[in-house]
Amino acid sequence: MEMVKFLLIFLFYKDFCVVKFMVKQPIREANILEALFPILFLIVLLVINISVFGDEGLSGSNQIVLILSASVAGLVAVIRLGYRWEQLQDGVINSISSAMSSILILLLIGALAGTWLLSGIVPAMIYYGLKILTPGIFLVAACIIGAVVAIATGSSWTTVATVGVALLGIGKALGFSEGLIGGAIISGAYFGDKMSPLSDTTNLAPAMAGTDLFTHIRHMTKTTVPSISITLIIFLIIGFYTDAAGSVNQVREISEVIAAKFRITGWLFVVPAVVLFLIIKKTPAVPALLVGALLGGVAAVIFQPEIIALISEAPDAGFAYQSFRSVMQALYGDIAVVTSNEVVNELLQTGGMAGMLNTIWLIICAMIFGGIMEESGMLRVLAEAVIRRVHSIGSLIASTAATCVFFNVTTSDQYLAILVPGRMYADIYKKRGLKGENLSRTLEDSATVTSVLIPWNTCGATQASVLGVATLTYAPYCFFNIISPFMTILYGYFKLGINYYTEEELLEIKKGIAGMIPMSISKDAVNELPLGAFEGKIHLIDKPEQVQEAFERLREETVIGFDTETRPSFRKGTQYKVSLLQLSTNEEAFLFRLQHVGFPPQIKGLLENQDILKVGAAVLDDLRALRKLDPTFLEQNFFDLNEELKRVGFQNVGVRNLSAMVLNIRISKSEQVSNWEADMLSDKQLLYAATDAWACLAIFDRLFDGGYLDELFE
């Protein structure tokens, strides 16, 4: 009997899964709570995971958290939104494919680190660095060196993987903490990457914003120079006031141990010089790093035969065998050069390509999560929710920066954090009279520099793996990366360094805008359009106990659609009280039957709340009718589409005409004169009532986002 029950449960569950995951269902857009749920799940689980595992999270538990979060996002997309797994799988594949270049680079950086250690290139950099740098100037010097190399190469990744690794060794020998050293190196490297005309992100940002490369770089200096100046001052102060543990004797001992173990010669620097030359000549990163890794192997064979024999663990074998075995092991796996000094031993070990596999695992898991969120449209819903709350230049720039950071966190990809917000905000900046370089600068000040602060982002994971320093260990000291987004937001709110279109340029833009949405429309043109109606959830509120729940939902909004319905009178002198009050969000419409629930104090308070904008058409009659129910009612913050749109040039108004011009749909008015006091309202009445309130909101949103209402909200 128990087996029969089990089989019945299994068959029911199997059929449920087949229906949900395989059968094509209507797809709808996520609401804000559905879109937020996977993000909140990810954040909560990561906080728990980090508190339990700490820096060891990269070894597997962070990856599992991302997979679980991706599963939650997939369940929301399939069960709630109607997506099929095949659609989400395509998004995952595309997302992982977009990261393949980064994965190849990461593998080659691991190989390069191995052969550059084996050949003595990194030890030579540490040796000479210890001769030149002192604790007082080290952090500033590390930041400047990283900046110069990154400007020359256009790559923060290459900078950190080459001179960054050497600077880390020097700093540790001087007694600085690895987090502080990592922060100085990364601050400089990302400044240089951001300002270099050779950098891919520096070229991508202006392309997304609609400006040219050198205008973009010149405009960036207004925020970037103050940010890096503050950063250098902070590192200078820390350098002078930090009691670095490294004594002169210890530094001398480290130099002597390195010189005793390796053959140190200036010829070793030919290899990094070749790599830098290739990158400056715009050779793609993959072949440039491959050449660097292979040349490192050649240099090891030429200059370090004793190290070759040591690493091969085959002292009696021939030199050809030893060379092949040692170079291959340096390329793919762990190698360590053991000395009598523990500090040196920490510097002289690397994991090759294999040492990058945990990071690659993390990147793949992050891209799975980002791919599902992107494919299901949940990221777009969250981003658009931010855009709707933008009312000033400062809030626009702050929203852009926040969106970039959000995409760095959720998609785990620096390029997507530039691409998606760049596409989203380009028209809004233009319609607000702001030139493209304002957007491109904000993209770089936020997306480019914050990616390295997030452990599961490709940048954060890569730099942590290359330096051997956990992201959360170096992140607090990446002063440039932390200051930059706040600097650009500060400039936005104080309107500093903002480039505006001239009046003539703005006029041309507005002419283009005017051509997008007609200012008038004929009755015949309206009738030719397809019927449209509200597609969200309709709540009929006809019991007092239902009011509070509706109120709780509505008060979360900053803008809602508004309308009322009154039973029509066909007798002279007979008038009826308002029967129905409609309040709508983009996803839900709430219809209050006032003859059943009265004029609830919560809803009255909502309509009197000046922090919530209520949008309707011909609202004076509606408000007059509500005041008859409660003479103490004092409306606040209403926007009358009919009156306000006449001020910006619309010749035809009314919900039907505006829906046609702005939303390209025809709204049926057949239920307008129906009996709104009937015992039961028909489905057609409910849909008509919900559509009128929703349409007012949709019209407002489209016009506001398009810049048509700018002069009304200045």
Q: What is the pLDDT of residues 99-115, one digit of tens each?
A: 787 788 778 888 988 89
CA–CA separation, 351 and 474 (whole Å): 20
- 305 Cβ partners below 8 Å, 6+ apart? 319
State whether residue 210 is helix, strand or coil: coil
Band the pLDDT of 514: cuts 50, 70, 90: very low
> Could you report the per-residue pLDDT of 335-379, keeping only the tens digit for each?
988 888 877 787 788 888 988 888 788 778 878 888 898 888 887
- pLDDT value for 634: 92
> Are the CB atoms for 182 and 141 separated by under 8 Å?
no
Band the pLDDT of 412: cuts 50, 70, 90: confident
Q: Which amino acid is at 261?
A: K
Is the pLDDT at 21 greater than 80? The verdict is no
- Distances in Å between the Cα of 354 and the Cα atoms of 57, 110, 307, 320, 575 are 18, 8, 21, 24, 82
Q: Region 447-458: what's the mean pLDDT? A: 90
> Could you report the per-residue pLDDT of 419-432, keeping only the tens digit for each?
778 777 877 788 77
| pLDDT-wise least confident of 49-63, 294-308, 336-350 | 49-63
CA–CA separation, 438 and 445 (whole Å): 11
Query: What are 465's two structure tokens?
Result: 């793996």
> Could you report the per-residue pLDDT of 674-688, keeping only the tens digit for each?
889 898 999 999 999
- pLDDT value for 694: 96
> Are the CB atoms for 687 and 670 separated by under 8 Å?
no
> Are the CB atoms for 294 and 115 separated by under 8 Å?
yes
Band the pLDDT of 16: cuts 50, 70, 90: very low
Q: DSSP of 125-188, one letter per residue?
A: HHHHHHHH--HHHHHHHHHHHHHHHHHHHS-HHHHIIIIIHHHHHHHHHHT--HHHHHHHHHHH
CB neighbours (10 Å) of residue 233?
12
| % residues pLDDT > 90 (the chain) | 38
CA–CA separation, 92 and 259 (whole Å): 50
Q: CB under 8 Å, gap of 24 or more: what pairs does 643-650 form?
A: 644/709, 644/712, 645/703, 647/712, 648/708, 648/709, 648/711, 648/712, 649/514, 649/519, 650/519, 650/520
> Are the CB atoms for 214 and 208 separated by under 8 Å?
no
> Could you report the per-residue pLDDT of 30-51, keeping only the tens digit for each?
888 898 899 889 888 877 887 7
> Are the CB atoms for 474 and 179 separated by under 8 Å?
yes
Map out the domains of the chain as residue ranges.
12-101+358-414+445-493, 107-354, 523-706
Question: CA angle at residue 17 from 15 to 20, to 5 degrees?
Answer: 110
Residue among 366, 372, 419, 361 at smallest CA distance from 90: 372
| Lateral strand order in the sheet of 559-566 | 537-541, 588-593, 578-584, 559-566, 613-616, 638-640
Buried b (16+ CB within 10 A) or exposed e, 380-411: bbbbbebbbebeebbbbbbbbbbbbbbbbbbb
Band the pLDDT of 153: cuts 50, 70, 90: low
> Could you report the per-residue pLDDT of 611-659, keeping only the tens digit for each?
899 999 999 999 999 999 999 999 999 999 999 998 877 888 899 999 9
Band the pLDDT of 480: cuts 50, 70, 90: very high
Range 523-706 classified under CATH 3.40.630.30:
no
Give the β-pairing of 613-616 and 559-566.
parallel
